[in-house]
Structure 1
Amino acid sequence: MTESASPHISTPRITVLGVQPGDPPFRMVEIDGEVVGEATSMTDLLLAAAARGITVHDLDDPGVIRWVGGGKFSWRLH
């Protein structure tokens, strides 16, 4: 067996932070460790990723996107 005994944990290129108060509420988006802006919806997130050459095929893939403070359907304050 040539594999390592510990699993490889990759850092996703996209991190979506928790919902922030605003009108409308928003989530900060980081790509490759750099804050790239605010997103008020999944569409905003996908557009920001596409602008940086990233095509997202699966919003639930933890190897691509890390959701902090709520998942892909959390865009409003509770």
Structure 2
Amino acid sequence: MTESASPRSTVPRMTVLGVQPGEPPYRLVEIGGELVGQAHSLADVLDIAHRAGLGRLDLDDPDDVRWVGGDKFTWFPGLWG
């Protein structure tokens, strides 16, 4: 099997978990499997990445960020199922 035909098995640098209800709603953020913060917006995700020393992230690259329970535009519970 060639490398291009093999299934993706990389671990993303950051994982943004599904929206949690709250005032305001938030998403938990993990780096390296460790919970590192709460994000209330996309700007918060970038700030958490910067503070963790991740440098530039491509928010659309699954090798950089895994979005669970929605995408980078999902910030309210229940909108996408």
TM-score by length of 1: 0.87
In 2, the alpha carbon distance for the partners of 1:43 and 1:8 equals 28
Aligned positions, number? 77
In 1, the alpha carbon distance for the partners of 2:21 and 2:7 equals 37
Deviations 1:28-53 (A, max 9, x none): 00011100010000110111010011
Q: Which residue does the alignment assign to 1:65?
A: 65
Unaligned runs of 5+ in 1: none
Instruction: Within 5 Å, give how 1:26-45 maps onto structure 2.
Output: 26-45=26-45
- Is this contact kept in 2: 1:17–1:28, CA < 8 A? yes
Q: What percent identity do the matched residue pairs reach?
A: 55
Unaligned runs of 5+ in 2: none
RMSD over aligned CA atoms reads 1.8
Deviation at 1:8, TM superposition (A): 5.1
Report the 3-state secondary structure (helix = DSSP H, G, I; strand = E; otherwise coil) of the residue aligned with 2:27: strand
TM-score by length of 2: 0.84
- Is this contact kept in 2: 1:13–1:33, CA < 8 A? no
